[in-house]
Structure 1
């Protein structure tokens, strides 16, 4: 009985192998499937990738943080400047300067890697690091 079951399992496995090979070679292919439909699929995927790249170009994906001591009598690098920019160099720098009794925060708009306002050396460094 056990030998008969083993033989049956081998036969079923062989049949499954033959069927899968026939389908892989195109024996079970329906119209529009497989290689014939590939150029349309590739074209559609290329369009989707191009659209995603256009969207990603506007994403704030270039970023860098520079930490520093704004005042000589304080340590710990509590002040910082961060640059958040897209592929075209458009975005913002945010700077937080920490003193003994207060902290001030500044934001400056960046367009094409440049700013209309004067940038601090730390902000310029953050933009430079973000640009790569």
Structure 2
């Protein structure tokens, strides 16, 4: 006795079912083939647009041009680093620290018209200006400062101005 007959399956319906399944499988595979072919054509178009020119020579020249630009940018970057380093070194020599004290030089004068101003660079070198205002006029004195010290005796206001300038550096750190 045959297995098909044992389960009551007609061989015609079995063959028809298998044929229908195979037909459905062929249709699905055909749709997948069409979709893949469409994507392949799009990829080929993009590739041809990318490679247009003399066998990719234009692409090679494009890459070489970009590499030259990158080399130019690197050179400019090095130049800018050197210039920034020079600027930083020059900044150490500029007067960055300031101390100002206003005072009355003479007891009969009011309004604190006299002042002492200390200006120092990063190395604490600079000067102190002392302008003393009196009824006869204004007298200005300049004193040199080296490493935060003056070799000329400083008045009380000048010392205060120098201390303020030295403290200005401590506040930045």
Pairwise same-fold verdict (TM > 0.5): yes
Task: Give the match's secondary structure for 1:33.
Answer: helix
| TM-score normalised by length of structure 1 | 0.68
Tell whether 2:84 aligns with 1:33: no
Show the counterpart of 1:119.
154
Q: How does 1:35-114 map to 2 (within 5 A)?
A: 39-114=74-149
Structure with the greater relative contact order (CA < 8 A, sep ≥ 6): 1 or 2? 1
Gaps of 5+ in 1: 1-25
Indicate the RMSD between aligned Cα atoms, in angstroms: 2.3
Tell me how many residue pairs correspond in the alignment.
106
Please give the alpha-carbon distance, in whole angstroms, between the structure 1 residues aligned to 2:115 and 2:108.
Answer: 16
Gaps of 5+ in 2: 1-61, 169-173
Name the structure where helix makes up a greater proportion of residues. Answer: 2
Larger Rg: 2
Question: CA shift at 1:115, angstroms?
Answer: 0.3
Question: CA shift at 1:72, angstroms?
Answer: 2.1
Name the structure where strand makes up a greater proportion of residues. Answer: 1
Question: CA shift at 1:37, angstroms?
Answer: 5.4
Structure 1, 39-48 or 84-93: larger mean CA deviation: 39-48
